[in-house]
Amino acid sequence: MSGGAGGAGGPADRIELRGLRVLARVGVLPFEQDQDQPVEIDLDLVTDLRAAGASDDLADTIDYGAVCAVVERDGVRSAPVALLERLAARIAEVVLAFDGRIAAVEVAVRKLRPPVAQHLATSGVRLRRERAPGP
């Protein structure tokens, strides 16, 4: 069973956050640039969870409530974007800057009402970003 340090590749543990729904200004169409629309965000935070597993202390892990708040405030609501790709990249940047214990983050962002003529439940992107190695 993997976990903890994860060997040479860093931690294998992760905190999974699913279905964070927020309003965003994202899109290239004029109406998308003028009004908020709902998006849904999933995050996987790669971090070593051994200390929290042993201590049962919030200080030894990542406060996911605070992560959700910073993603909404600084990642989504800070400025409009044209592309979901940029929104996801900005969210990844915000998450990695939030806590140095986060080694990597996987971000999925979905528009819940994509503006296409066909019946499409969602459109989205998924990306993974890792913390740059230290000196």
Which residues does the annotation mark as catalytic? Answer: 111
- Tell me which residue has tokens 């340090």: 5
Closest CA to 66 of 40, 39, 101: 101
Backbone angles phi, psi at 15, to 5 degrees: -105, 125
Residue 103: its H or E element:
none
Rounded to whole angstroms, the maximal C-alpha distance in the chain is 52
